[in-house]
Amino acid sequence: MIQLDARDKAILLELQQESRLSYAEMGSRVGLSPAAVHDRVKKLERKGVIRAYKIQVDPEALGLKLTAFVAIRLDNNFTGREIQPGLEQFHQIEEVHSIAGENDLLLKVRTSDTKALEALIYRIKAVPGIARITSTIVLSTALEGRPLVPGESDESIELR
């Protein structure tokens, strides 16, 4: 695993919230010179810790007023890996997770409305290997896109 010191973590935390900060501004926040911050950021990019620079868009502004989680159970002779290409074609699918439990896949999807969700579900059902679909509609989203905080190796010691 990659070693990150407190300053790397501080930099990552800042950039997860506002990636357009100048190196000077970042430097004064974490206590480093602009060039030093620059070096660290470039290293984090090279190591793949920073995967991409993106914008977060308001889904509603794009007309995507409905979010849903779609759980999929596969036929016994299919794997998630085989199904995946058939799912990628649907741009409404934002995430695809392989999961443990009753179902095999969990998708996060966004559509304009229930009608579009219905259409999407029918098309997903047509993908070979899919046995059952269970959809859960999101009524509202309280938190989303929170910055990831590095896992402390001793988070569990508070269990007693």
Cα–Cα distance measured from residue 11 to residue 32, given in angstroms and rounded to the nearest whole number: 10
* Among the residue ranges 22-30, 31-39, 41-49, 124-132, the one whose residues contact a second copy (CB under 8 A): 41-49
Whether the CB-CB separation of 132 and 146 falls below 8 Å is answered with no
Q: Does 52 bind a second copy (CB under 8 A)?
A: yes
Among 39, 75, 82, 94, indicate the residue that binds a second copy (CB under 8 A).
94
* Among the residue ranges 36-44, 68-76, 81-89, 106-114, the one whose residues contact DNA (CB under 7 A): 36-44
Cα–Cα distance measured from residue 18 to residue 6, given in angstroms and rounded to the nearest whole number: 18
Cα–Cα distance measured from residue 106 to residue 104, given in angstroms and rounded to the nearest whole number: 7
CA distances from residue 127 to 62, 86, 120, 137 in whole angstroms, order as listed: 27, 6, 11, 21
Residue 132 near which of a second copy, DNA, none (CB within 5-8 Å, type-dependent)? none
Specify the 3-state DSSP secondary structure of 14.
helix
Among 23, 68, 87, 107, indicate the residue that binds DNA (CB under 7 A).
23
Complex with DNA: residue 37 or 74, whichever CB lies closer: 37
Among 6, 9, 17, 24, indicate the residue that binds DNA (CB under 7 A).
24
